[in-house]
Amino acid sequence: DAGITQSPRHKVTETGTPVTLRCHQTENHRYMYWYRQDPGHGLRLIHYSYGVKDTDKGEVSDGYSVSRSKTEDFLLTLESATSSQTSVYFCATETNQGGTEAFFGQGTRLTVV
Partner 1 sequence: TQLLEQSPQFLSIQEGENLTVYCNSSSVFSSLQWYRQEPGESPVLLVTVVTGGEVKKLKRLTFQFGDARKDSSLHITAAQPGDTGLYLCAGAGGSQGNLIFGKGTKLSVKP
Q: Measured from the CB atom, is 63 or 107 closer to partner 1?
A: 107
Alpha carbon distance 79, 16 (integer Å) = 8
Region binding partner 1 by CB under 8 A among candidate stretches 13-21, 43-51, 69-77, 79-87: 43-51
Residue 26 contacts partner 1 per CB under 8 A: no
**Strands of the chain, DSSP E:** 4-7, 10-13, 19-25, 31-38, 42-51, 54-57, 64-70, 73-78, 87-94, 103-104, 108-112
Residue 105 contacts partner 1 per CB under 8 A: yes
> Do residues 7 and 22 touch, judged by C-beta distance below 8 A?
yes
- For residue 56, the minimal CB distance to partner 1 (Å) is 6
**Among residues 27, 43, 65, 86, the one that binds partner 1 under rule CB under 8 A:** 43
Find, among 110, 90, 94, 113, the residue nearest to 102 by Cα: 94
Site for partner 1 in 58-97 (CB under 8 A): 58, 90, 94, 97
Residues that bind partner 1 (CB under 8 A): 31, 33, 35, 40-45, 48, 50, 56-58, 90, 94, 97-102, 104-107
